[in-house]
Chain A
């Protein structure tokens, strides 16, 4: 019944949003893997990237994108050194609440920057032409959807290669499954953490570039709501493993995309409730994650 009102454009937009959320899920999952830290401030990395694109929109496109990557990776590293490192080994609640504070800090700084010209929001317009629909195999698709799918597929493939075929990838996977044993076997903690933090920063920058295509108006709460939704998706998918987290991110992005495409009517105003009720149901039935097949529930460390 609901599918009847969906057009092809909504469907492809939903796939595009799923691809973006899958990337954000990877960025959050990478850091969680090595630090056991849920980075609520991840969305503010994307926001910082989007502002960089907006402020450099007069520059040549390539320079603007390079600046965006530089700013986001630098911010990601600064977060690791000044916040994550002192908090290593603290309880998850303390780490999470600290990233709340960092998230609000970055938002309020962005607000001050943004309001210097007297109005809220900056426009990052250099890539908006990608939002135009083009015809592929007789169907209308926004160019950016293809870019999103291409980038997401490329990033995931590259990441899989990095993780499976390189030494640092092996070390990171070892650290993610058991940090203490990995260190005993010679994995350098700071190296794998820096590696994960830089990778997650690069991904945040890529997400910023793609998000500004469809949402060129950048405000301090840019990507805030998306981060929350992605976090839900990551936990529902299974945060203990990168690929289940990614799949969870894609799923929730796809579902949100479909919901956003529907015009609100009397019947659909409660759709968010239905989705979150489904989230609760999945968590009750599969607390370790929807896609975490064949694994026992995590057993706490007993020393």
Chain B
């Protein structure tokens, strides 16, 4: 009974936060709605990264490659057929002559993200520590290079546009909830627990029969599928995208969100994503001047990034284990 309650809180608290953001987005003006949608998509991406990085303890800079692949797969396949031949004339005929709907494109992105992650992870998951970090970074570079140059599978270096903007409050909220639910189910499953054991002590976990390589590979694949799905949500929100939008900056920002929230918990991933994107939205409003508690706050332009990075650094220096301390959500009177 107690365990069931704990589990309910662990899943319920992040879900409630996401639903609250989704509801708030419906009350916001169209101009401000984009901030809430960004926050929801950040949650999806950061939780996808958490599934691998948080559970395995292995730092990966490569998860944004799966976001990129998912975004471009979903984007290219949903450009309406009548304009596709005009804007993407160099595509393979198979891609150029077919278009799929919104939901199939989300599933396609998840499938391709997962498949790509599996193929990449097969050799890479043998690596540890910094070698793993650099190798996954190399995957990001290769993905970016190929997506930017190969015009038979996408727009290349130009902007992919005319993608249906189907990620509104509803799709954003449901998408983020799906990613959270999958991540939660995974971390409580037998596989997830084996991987978390290997994070705490990989030699001891191997000693009791955990195949660290296999467990990391499953998590990497699942994380890739969720990242691809999140990429599809992203492209359907933006409507147009370039390869540079799913590259280094997004990698650093999403990793920072995860670490600021607390690397080792789902709650940390969600709180970190919402806190940083909330702060970012507030600061960009403040650059235009906002009223807070009766005071007029008007930041000089360009100071948004200064404050954002300074606050991130400060949180990490004062609370290195993140805002949540890397613990799951729990009721206040059940602190241990």
Chain A residues within CB distance 8 Å of chain B: 38, 82-83, 86-87, 90-94, 96-98, 100-102, 104-105, 107-109, 111-112, 115, 228, 231-232, 235-236, 239, 269-270, 272-273, 276-277, 279-280, 283-284, 287-288, 300, 302
Contact = CB atoms under 8 A, between A and B. Distances in A.
A100 B317 contact: no
Interface stretch (B121-129, B177-185, B189-197, B230-238): B121-129
A102 B309 contact: yes
Interface stretch (B26-34, B36-44, B76-84, B131-139): B131-139
A13 B48 CA distance: 42
Contacts of A93: 53, 59, 259, 263
A102 B320 CA distance: 15
B305 A232 contact: no
B4 interface: no
B313 A101 contact: yes
A87 B305 contact: no
Contact of B255 (A100, A231, A287): A100
A38 B313 contact: no
B128 to A, nearest CB: 7
Nearest to B314: A101
A104 B305 CA distance: 8
B146 A273 contact: yes
B94 interface: no
B149 A269 contact: yes
A101 B259 CA distance: 11
B158 interface: no
A108 B256 contact: no
Given A92-B59, A115-B302, A231 B134 contact: yes
A96 B313 contact: no
Report whether over half of chain B's contact residues are helix, strand or loop; otherwise say mixed. helix
Given A92-B59, A112-B302, A101 B135 contact: no
21 contacts: A86-B318, A87-B317, A87-B320, A93-B53, A100-B256, A102-B309, A104-B308, A105-B313, A112-B300, A112-B306, A228-B248, A236-B134, A272-B142, A272-B145, A273-B141, A276-B138, A276-B145, A279-B134, A284-B123, A287-B127, A300-B202
Contact of B135 (A38, A284, A302): A284
A251 B133 CA distance: 19
B303 A112 contact: yes
A79 B96 CA distance: 52
Nearest to B303: A112
Interface residues of B, number: 45
Interface of B: 53, 59, 123-124, 126-131, 133-135, 137-139, 141-142, 145-146, 149, 202-203, 248, 252, 255-256, 259-260, 263, 300, 302-303, 305-306, 308-310, 312-313, 316-318, 320-321
Interface of chain A, helix or strand or loop or mixed? helix
A284 B127 contact: yes
B316 A87 contact: yes
A101 B138 contact: no
Contact of B256 (A97, A231, A269, A272): A97
Contact of A277 (B137, B138, B255, B302): B138
A97 B138 contact: no
B249 to A, nearest CB: 9
A83 B317 contact: yes
Contacts of A283: 127, 131, 134-135, 138
B306 A94 contact: no
A273 B139 contact: no
Contacts of A112: 300, 302-303, 306
